[in-house]
Amino acid sequence: MACNGCVEALCDQLTGTDATMLTLCLTGLKNILKAGEINKDKGLYKGVNVYAQMIEECAGLDKIARLQSYDNNNIYKKALEILEKYFPEDLEVVDEENLP
């Protein structure tokens, strides 16, 4: 699998505070998840997005969810977009108007 190790590395960076790094990591994870959806739709990996599973297994989902309260609106929107599209059953939306 091409992303073996990179999913965990990207998720590990989601605890940082640099907005540019967070944006890059979220964009990378979104692209990886998109590839996982393509594979899933093709019937690969028993119809499961294995990259979404990897993110959950390395506590990345919690880290993405926490970014909904990050004080940068762009980070909030990127995190929310990932949660809505790839983890809707786990979605806890933070009210955007209550962001610091």
6-61 per-position pLDDT tens digit: 999 999 999 999 999 999 999 999 999 999 999 999 999 998 999 999 999 999 99
Among residues 36, 34, 63, 59, the alpha carbon closest in space to that of 47 is found at 36
Question: What is the second-level CATH architecture of the domain 21-92?
Answer: Alpha Horseshoe (1.25)
Confidence of residue 99 (pLDDT cuts 50, 70, 90): very low
- The pLDDT of 50-77, averaged and rounded, is 94
DSSP, collapsed to helix, strand or coil, labels residue 42 as coil
| Confidence label for 92 from pLDDT (cuts 50, 70 and 90) | low
Spatial distance between the Cα atoms of 11 and 21, rounded to a whole number of angstroms: 11
Ranges of each domain in the chain: 21-92
Q: According to the model, what pLDDT value does residue 89 have?
A: 81
- Which residue matches tokens 């506590």? 59
pLDDT given for residue 88 in this prediction: 86
